[in-house]
Amino acid sequence: MADQRFDHKWGMVVDLDRCTGCQACVVACQSENNIPINTKDLFLQRRAYEWIRVERYWEGEFPNVKARFIPIMCQHCENAPCEPVCPVYATYHNDEGLNVQVYNRCVGTRYCANNCPYQVRFFNYWEPVWPERMRNHLNSDVTVRSRGIMEKCSFCIQRIRRAELKVEQQERAVLDYPTMKKRNFLPACVSACPTNALTFADQSDTTGPVNRYFKALDDHEGGESAPRAYRLIEEVGTKPNVIYLKKVDKYPLKNGGGHG
Amino acid sequence: MRLSAKMVTLGLVGLLGLAVVGFVLVVLFISWFSNPPFGLGNAPPQPVAFPHTIHAGAPEEGGMGIQCEFCHRNVTRGAEATVPAVEQCLFCHEQVAGRTATAKAEIAKFRDNPDGIQPINWERVHRLPDHVRFIHEAHVRFFTQGDTPDRQLEVAQVCSKCHGDVASMTEVQPMKGQSLKMGTCLDCHRENSVPTDCTVCHK
Q: Which residues of A17-48 are buried (b: 16+ CB within 10 A; e: fewer)?
A: eebeeebbbbebbbebbbbbeeeeeeeeeeeb
**Do both B183 and B149 map to the same domain?**
yes
**Do both B11 and B72 map to the same domain?**
no
- What is the ipTM for the molecules in this complex? 0.83
Q: A106 is in which domain, residue-wise? A: 10-245
Task: Answer yes or no: is B106 within a domain.
Answer: no
Query: Minimal Cα–Cα distance from B203 to chain A, Å?
Result: 6
- Residue A72: CB atoms within 10 A of its CB come to 19
DSSP label of A133: G
**Interface contact flag, A104 B129, Cβ < 8 Å:** yes
The Cα angle at residue A164 between residues A161 and A165, in degrees rounded to 5:
85
Would the pLDDT of B86 be above 50? yes
State the DSSP string of B88-139: HHHHHHTT---SSHHHHHHHHHHHS-TT-S----PPP-S---TTB---HHHH
B interface residues, A as partner, C-beta within 8 Å? 129-131, 133, 135, 137-138, 141, 190, 193, 195-200, 202-203
**Do both B193 and B142 map to the same domain?**
yes
Q: By percentage, how much of chain A surpasses pLDDT 70?
A: 95
The Cα angle at residue B31 between residues B191 and B13, in degrees rounded to 5:
140
For residue A74, the surrounding DSSP H or E stretch is: none
**Cβ contacts of B200 on chain A, cutoff 8 Å:** 3, 161
**Interface contact flag, A100 B141, Cβ < 8 Å:** no
Using CB atoms, pick whichever of B130, B133, B199 lies closest to residue A100: B199
Q: Are A126 and A133 in contact (CB under 8 A)?
A: no
Q: Kind of pairing, strands A122-123 and A150-151?
A: antiparallel
Q: Are A52 and A25 in contact (CB under 8 A)?
A: yes
Using CB atoms, pick whichever of B131, B137, B197 lies closest to residue A3: B197
Nearest to A202, CA basis, from A192, A212, A194: A212
**pLDDT at residue A170, as a whole number:** 82
**Interface contact flag, A100 B133, Cβ < 8 Å:** no
Domain count, chain A: 1
Rounded Cα distance between B86 and B119, Å, is 6
A149–B contact, CB cutoff 8 A:
no
Domain count, chain B: 2
pLDDT digits (tens, 9 = 90+) for A29-59: 999 999 999 999 999 998 999 999 999 999 8
Taking CA–CA distances from B129, the nearest residue in chain A reads: A143
pLDDT digits (tens, 9 = 90+) for B66-79: 999 999 999 998 88
Q: B8 is in which domain, residue-wise? A: 1-33
- Residue B1: CB atoms within 10 A of its CB come to 4
DSSP label of A247: P
Q: Which CATH number characterizes residue A28's domain?
A: 3.30.70.20
Residue A260: pLDDT band (50, 70, 90) is: very low
Task: Answer yes or no: is A250 within a domain.
Answer: no
Task: Answer yes or no: is B190 within a domain.
Answer: yes
Q: Are A198 and A20 in contact (CB under 8 A)?
A: no
